[in-house]
A and B are shown apart, each in its own frame.
Chain A
């Protein structure tokens, strides 16, 4: 029988330690709040060397006041922290390692800091635990990487510490849940305190401390693509995808990766897609950020629902006015959630279309380039075939191969790339830079974004390789070479074999799909400028200043 206090304590030490940490900061705290000017002192009081600290660095919003404060703590007191962060995207995230405050990192994406991160590795100032896809990193927060401290951000808090995250909920609830229910400490920076919140996104009992930041949290309009910059080659590729993938496989539930290639598809739905009579037949349900380039398709009645990973600056009013399409709260504004949307993309989507920087002859793809450690984000999750899926759909079933009694369907995973990138750099390469990067950055494995065996289709301006139909490695490689243009991989093309592959439908060129190259022109885009997008939205879309020329 466990009755004495000493023995009971043995099993509640985490709670005890949490109380001790909070007690150390008590003199700075009133009603669960502390002043921005005390932020560094509060962090120094609560943190201990070697803590696992989750700093909310989302794809879009960043807890930048707290990360800037963390970078100012005294490294002689607080050091060797283990940083957990989705997007290692801000300069001060790197400063943490340069100052010796943090020593180890587990993350997903480092885009803007990829160069400095590679330098830190070379200087042996950081140990990379692993580079994850988002959902995988969140999963580890609930298993072996549970944070002791979480530094998160929200639009507003009320007097009870309830949080309102507005359009950019992103991953705040996930981080908070993992931390709060394991006796960790959750500190939230907010833009403002309100008497009454428009809605409660995270209950106050999950939050320990609130601070009003010195300025609104940092956020980037990452998913805005100016239609002005879409070229004719991208229009041709979009036509190929619509005909040769979406129409062919009747793809209704999907995600589009970031970029101009997929933006072109979105802008072709109400024009080219409409001319093919595909409205309602394809692209009805999305796991997608609120892409401005989806506005024309939404306005023309193509889209039934969109669940979002995060918000997009300027899209707030439009989304709120289209609540039949987007997931919105009782206050009317967007409710996004990265973990839920990644789960949706994993299990409920039939198709992922993304771009990449390099593809090898086995269709492995990577965005890693020498001297940069950029990470993955969500693509490996959205662009993989989940073997745990059990529910069928016409698309999923169409990907099944063979006629055995026991077989499974498959997600359509499309890599959409031009054979050459700007300034004539080939996309198709004999060996991914990721291989050399793994060696120089001492990674256990080359950072492959999407493994070739998950890729069902590769689409270039030359045509489509239906890799899922290819029999054996040789056929796969031949199919890929047939659409790889004059890149090193494409030069391996065998003309006779290509004829056979076209006949068996493993390779299709534009003429095989009834796509006329002369039609591939920007005039097919439903919107050709940012202004067109604003007009489509009836003035509801408000692009950030940098996207406005008027």
Chain B
């Protein structure tokens, strides 16, 4: 059963380019980051692991606190820990800057 979670962060500076990071593997996640015309970041998470909404929200809030960007981010999660998700987000941003 796939759970979908959308998190929006208002404001932020646009990113330069599209980037694709991560792998489809257990304990990992795949992440796509794209420029957007909207003045906000929109994160769409698809995960098969339920019950971690609070952790997802905390990781994403941390990320935008550090990097206020406007972008569209899609994450396909395969049971990644918050540590892996945080790394993938940072990697995606480095690649998209």
Give me the interface of A with B, judged by CB distance under 8 Å.
231-233, 236, 418-424, 460-462, 485-486, 491, 495, 510, 516-518, 520
A517 to B22, CA, bound (A): 12
Q: Which of B27, B52, B59, B62 contacts A231 (CB 8 A)?
A: B27
A443 to B81, CA, bound (A): 33
The yes or no answer to B30 lying at the interface (CB within 8 A) is: no
Residue of A nearest to B51 (CB): A424
Chain A-chain B contacts (Cβ-Cβ < 8 Å), number: 56
The yes or no answer to B11 lying at the interface (CB within 8 A) is: no
Which chain A residues lie closer than 8 Å to B95 at the CB level? 518
CB distance from A9 to the nearest CB of B (A): 67
CB distance from A512 to the nearest CB of B (A): 13
Q: Which of B65, B79, B86, B94 contacts A495 (CB 8 A)?
A: B65
Which chain A residues lie closer than 8 Å to B39 at the CB level? none
Q: Determine if A520 and B65 form an interchain contact, defined as CB atoms under 8 angstroms apart.
A: no
Residue of B nearest to A493 (CB): B62
Which chain B residues lie closer than 8 Å to A460 at the CB level? 83
CB distance from A461 to the nearest CB of B (A): 5
Q: A424-B52, A486-B62, A516-B94 are in contact. Are A419 and B83 (CB under 8 A)?
A: yes
Q: A233-B87, A236-B87, A486-B62 are in contact. Are A518 and B94 (CB under 8 A)?
A: yes
A422 to B95, CA, bound (A): 26
A176 to B24, CA, bound (A): 54
A491 to B59, CA, bound (A): 10
Q: Determine if B91 and A485 form an interchain contact, defined as CB atoms under 8 angstroms apart.
A: no
Interface flags for B86-97 (1: CB within 8 Å of A; 0: not) read: 110011001100
The yes or no answer to B84 lying at the interface (CB within 8 A) is: yes
Which chain B residues lie closer than 8 Å to A233 at the CB level? 83-84, 87
| 5 residue pairs, one from A and one from B, having the closest CB atoms | A486-B58, A420-B81, A518-B94, A418-B83, A517-B90
Which chain B residues lie closer than 8 Å to A424 at the CB level? 49, 52, 55, 81-82
Q: Which of B52, B55, B91 contacts A520 (CB 8 A)?
A: B91
The yes or no answer to B28 lying at the interface (CB within 8 A) is: yes
Residue of B nearest to A425 (CB): B81
Q: Determine if A422 and B94 form an interchain contact, defined as CB atoms under 8 angstroms apart.
A: no
A419 to B58, CA, bound (A): 13
Q: Determine if B27 and A422 form an interchain contact, defined as CB atoms under 8 angstroms apart.
A: yes
A418 to B83, CA, bound (A): 7
Which chain B residues lie closer than 8 Å to A510 at the CB level? 90
A102 to B81, CA, bound (A): 43
Residue of A nearest to B83 (CB): A418
Interface flags for B15-35 (1: CB within 8 Å of A; 0: not) read: 000000000000110000000
Q: Determine if A520 and B83 form an interchain contact, defined as CB atoms under 8 angstroms apart.
A: no
Which chain A residues lie closer than 8 Å to B49 at the CB level? 424
A419 to B59, CA, bound (A): 12
9 A-B contacts, Cβ less than 8 Å apart? Answer: A236-B87, A419-B83, A422-B27, A424-B52, A424-B82, A461-B83, A461-B86, A461-B87, A486-B55
Q: Determine if B83 and A420 form an interchain contact, defined as CB atoms under 8 angstroms apart.
A: yes
A510 to B82, CA, bound (A): 17
CB distance from B32 to the nearest CB of A (A): 15
Q: Determine if A517 and B91 form an interchain contact, defined as CB atoms under 8 angstroms apart.
A: yes
- Other than the given A424-B52, A486-B82, 4 more pairs (CB < 8 A) read A422-B27, A424-B81, A485-B82, A485-B83
Q: A424-B52, A486-B62 are in contact. Are A231 and B94 (CB under 8 A)?
A: no
A424 to B84, CA, bound (A): 10
A384 to B87, CA, bound (A): 31
Which chain B residues lie closer than 8 Å to A485 at the CB level? 59, 62, 82-83, 86
Which chain B residues lie closer than 8 Å to A236 at the CB level? 87
A491 to B84, CA, bound (A): 17
Which chain A residues lie closer than 8 Å to B81 at the CB level? 418-424
A421 to B80, CA, bound (A): 10
Residue of B nearest to A486 (CB): B58
CB distance from A490 to the nearest CB of B (A): 9
A509 to B65, CA, bound (A): 15
Which chain A residues lie closer than 8 Å to B58 at the CB level? 486, 491
CB distance from B50 to the nearest CB of A (A): 11
Which chain B residues lie closer than 8 Å to A491 at the CB level? 58
Which chain A residues lie closer than 8 Å to B94 at the CB level? 516-518
Which chain A residues lie closer than 8 Å to B87 at the CB level? 232-233, 236, 461, 517, 520
A494 to B67, CA, bound (A): 16
Which chain A residues lie closer than 8 Å to B62 at the CB level? 485-486
A461 to B84, CA, bound (A): 9
